[in-house]
Amino acid sequence: MVMRFPNVNVVATAGTLAHMEEQLSPPAQAFWTTWFPDNQIDFPASPPAEALNSDNLTINLEGHTLHVVPAGHSDTDDTSFLWVPDLKMAVTGDVVYNGAYSYLAESLTASLRQKWIDAIEKVKSYQPETVVVGHKIPGAVDGSWTLNATQDYIRLWDRLVGEAKDANHMYEKVRAADPDRTGEFVLWWSCLQQFPANQTEKV
Domains and CATH numbers, the chain: 1-56 (no CATH), 58-194 (3.60.15.10)
pLDDT, tens only, 45-91? 888 888 888 888 999 888 888 999 999 999 999 999 999 999 999 99
Q: Which residues contact 198 (CB under 8 A, 6 or more apart)?
A: 166, 167, 168, 192
| C-alpha count within 13 angstroms, C-beta hemisphere, residue 177 | 20
The amino acid at residue 197 is A
CB 57 within 8 A of CB 67: yes
Residue 2 has pLDDT above 70, yes or no: no
Phi, psi angles (nearest 5°) of residue 64: -110, 145
pLDDT at 90: 97
Q: Which of 134, 132, 153, 135 minimizes the C-alpha distance to 144?
A: 132
Reported confidence tier of residue 114, pLDDT bands at 50, 70, 90: very high
Q: Which of 40-44, 103-107, 129-133, 166-170 has the lowest mean pLDDT?
A: 40-44
**Distance (Å, whole) CA 161 – CA 174:** 10
